[in-house]
A and B are shown apart, each in its own frame.
Chain A
Amino acid sequence: MNIEIDDLSFSYPEVNVFHDVTIEMNRPELYGILGPNGVGKSTLIHCMNRILEPSGGTVLIDGEDVGGYRLKDLAKKLGYVPCVSSDAFPMTVVDTVLIGRHPHSDWRVTKQDYDIVYDTIHAMGLDDLAMRPFNELSAGQKQKVMLARGLVQQPSAILLDEPTANLDIRHQYGVTKMLKRITRERNMLVVMVCHDLNIASRYCDRIILMSEGTVYCVGTPQEVITESNIRHVYGVECRVIDNGGCPHVIVCDDGLDDMPEAGPAASYEAETVPGIHKAVARS
């Protein structure tokens, strides 16, 4: 699996969301996209899987422009797990996960489809919830079900929009750890938008840090999560300490009273910032 983003830009009629984004992702690893609210992280993901049409530049999947794919063929390569779930007429967990098989099957649902669904639900430990309506689950369970739906799609890469939003600490770490395991076990490239610097630095193989509508830097957590980068991108003073080989961010809350203006596209993303609040420690 190989994703090449070349000179990509996207703008709404009134605002420029991001520009000059060039990234190459070519290994079955966990990639984290980080950056302040409104910097265009979700929009970038939406341009990759054709929910939005980019204003310029290209996204190549295995050497071919995503725009040239039939939607069903693209769906077999690229999975997507949205940030929030739609609760219109919720179905049972089994039926919800089964939706993920859509690109692989015609009208009929085969025994193989069901076997893949059962195996995935089982592997994620959701057996007991299988016949429950999706809307009655907790946020963490819903997130796992949505992830299962993305996995039964059996893509070579999967894009997740804030998989840890609204989850408690245990589930934040649990879900992200699971993502990392998936990259290894299923040989899958996983890209997630994330707000928690410490979770990203703990589990991501590579981090793409975005700032002011473009890529600020790309690299391993050790390379990207530094005091100066965080000061520059988030406008937050912090200390970065070593935590068993991973950089760990401790935010100093001096100067947080005068928050900088939100970025240009802030109104398009209702984002929570669990990472920053949790890591605040008086120093």
Chain B
Amino acid sequence: MDRERNGMVEGRRHQRGRFILIIAALAALSAVVFVWGISTSQYDIGFLEAYRVLMDRITGVPLDGTYDSWMKDYVVVELNIPRLVGGLAIGIVLAVSGAIMQSVIKNPLADPYTTGISSGALLGVSIYIAMGISLVPGLSGDSAQMMNAFLFSLIPTAAIVAITVMKRNITPTMMILVGIGVMYLFSAVSSMVRYQADPDAAHEIFTWTLGTLGRVSWDNMWILVAVSAFILAFGIAVSKTLNALTAGDNLARCLGVNVRVFRTACLVAVAAATGIVVSFSGTIGFVGLICPHIARILVGSNNRYVIPCSALMGAVMLMFTDSVAKIIVTSGLPVGAITALIGSPIFVYLLIRQKKNIW
């Protein structure tokens, strides 16, 4: 075998090893953030103390009856753990969905909300909070709000899929434009609803748009875990076909990919997963847009690496910023804002510093 060929084989092996190392490091980092996040709160709970509280709960040691011990037990076990699990799962869903959307739509500005999912969800939430209308009869409170958000979030994607079926030669750009059209329509209706609503309701709607992990609890976090497992498995399963798609629709078709069916399948999977996430958390922007790009800076554009790397980036980013949010903001709410606040400068820095010409 020739020397040049060996060099090439070695080069790829070396690169592969480096990428796996980067992904392993990110996995380790997310574990560290998770471990750290259990103790973070606006209350005075030490790192080791948090684990003592957790161990007491697991081993069934009864509380000593003081308010202080009750409060610490509640914060660590009932608040922090579900929020961390929620951050992990929602981060994975948003980042993987973003990576899939960017490849499928071939647009670096695409994110999980590109097709109008967030505006749909916002309208669902708005009509429940301001007018008390629940799409699923008999529901009330958070569950009614979440159900409304989920069902409305699917409408824009359903519109795009319907148009794809009717008009066979729809391009990705047209998909984005349809999404934007629907988004403006829904936003306009939401604004009108909010304008008519009383100030308290309007404020509540506004709070929802900021994004929070506060609604995640032991009871419902399993849904998020299941959704994140699904979208991660889906993303890894389609990564090879996503690679084929980067060579252009025509070539992908000549390689045996039914591009229209594949694109629609990806769109539906992302919409369903993101719709569920949005109904829990409200619109958390940034993660879905940025994590895939940071992943590409780290491991290149091969989707086999981009998907897992994005997933871990999203998990780390959301768990970390929510933990920071818990410490610095008394109400602990706007994780969406803090994510962008911390993430944007890091992202711009990485973008300017990197030498490769990825976009």
Is there contact, CB below 8 Å, between B255 and A131?
no
Q: Is A209 an interface residue (CB 8 A)?
A: no
Stretch at the interface among A76-84, A211-219, A234-242: A76-84
Is there contact, CB below 8 Å, between B251 and A107?
no
Bound state CA distance, A109 and B305, in angstroms? 14
Which residue of the partner chain B has the closest CB to A92?
B300
Whole-angstrom distance between the Cβ of A59 and the nearest chain B Cβ:
14
Is there contact, CB below 8 Å, between B358 and A80?
no
Is there contact, CB below 8 Å, between B251 and A82?
yes
Q: Is B210 an interface residue (CB 8 A)?
A: no
- Classify chain A: how many residues form its interface, as a range: 35 or more
A149 and B257 in contact (CB under 8 A), knowing A90-B358, A127-B5, A136-B357? no
A80 and B250 in contact (CB under 8 A), knowing A74-B256, A133-B356? yes
> Which of A86, A90, A94, A149 is the one whose CB lies under 8 Å from B301?
A90
Is there contact, CB below 8 Å, between B12 and A75?
no
Is there contact, CB below 8 Å, between A118 and B248?
no
Whole-angstrom distance between the Cβ of A69 and the nearest chain B Cβ:
10
> Which of A75, A114, A135 is the one whose CB lies under 8 Å from B255?
A75
Q: Is B298 an interface residue (CB 8 A)?
A: no
Is there contact, CB below 8 Å, between A121 and B358?
no
Question: In the complex, what residues of B have CB within 8 A of residue A198's CB?
Answer: none
Is there contact, CB below 8 Å, between A89 and B246?
yes
Bound state CA distance, A78 and B353, in angstroms? 43
Q: Is B247 an interface residue (CB 8 A)?
A: yes
Question: In the complex, what residues of B have CB within 8 A of residue A256's CB?
Answer: none
Is there contact, CB below 8 Å, between A72 and B301?
no
Question: In the complex, what residues of B have CB within 8 A of residue A50's CB?
Answer: 253-254
Which residue of the partner chain A has the closest CB to B172?
A88
Is there contact, CB below 8 Å, between A122 and B8?
yes
Which of B9, B103, B296 has the most chain A CB within a 10 Å cutoff? B9
Considering the complex, which residues of chain B in the window 41-74 have a beta carbon less than 8 Å from any beta carbon of chain A?
A: none
A interface footprint on B315-354 (CB within 8 Å = 1, 0 otherwise): 0000000000000000000000000000000000000000
Is there contact, CB below 8 Å, between A131 and B256?
no
> Which of B7, B246, B255 is the one whose CB lies under 8 Å from A153?
B255
Is there contact, CB below 8 Å, between A99 and B5?
no
A interface footprint on B220-261 (CB within 8 Å = 1, 0 otherwise): 000000000000000001001101101110110111111000
Q: Is B106 an interface residue (CB 8 A)?
A: yes
B interface footprint on A104-139 (CB within 8 Å = 1, 0 otherwise): 000101000010001101100001101101011000
Is there contact, CB below 8 Å, between A75 and B254?
yes
Bound state CA distance, A76 and B254, in angstroms? 9
Bound state CA distance, A33 and B250, in angstroms? 20
Is there contact, CB below 8 Å, between A107 and B240?
yes
Question: In the complex, what residues of B have CB within 8 A of residue A72's CB?
Answer: 256
Whole-angstrom distance between the Cβ of A85 and the nearest chain B Cβ:
7
Top 3 A-B pairs, shortest CB-CB distance:
A72-B256, A127-B4, A80-B254
Residues of A within 8 A of B (CB): 46, 49-51, 70-76, 78-80, 82, 85-86, 88-92, 94-96, 98-100, 102-103, 107, 109, 114, 118-119, 121-122, 127-128, 130-131, 133, 135-136, 149, 153
Residues of B within 8 A of A (CB): 2, 4-5, 7-9, 11-12, 15, 102-103, 106, 108, 237, 240-241, 243-244, 246-248, 250-251, 253-258, 296, 300-302, 356-359
Cβ contacts A to B, 10 pairs, < 8 Å: A89-B103, A89-B296, A89-B359, A95-B301, A98-B243, A107-B237, A114-B9, A127-B4, A128-B4, A133-B356
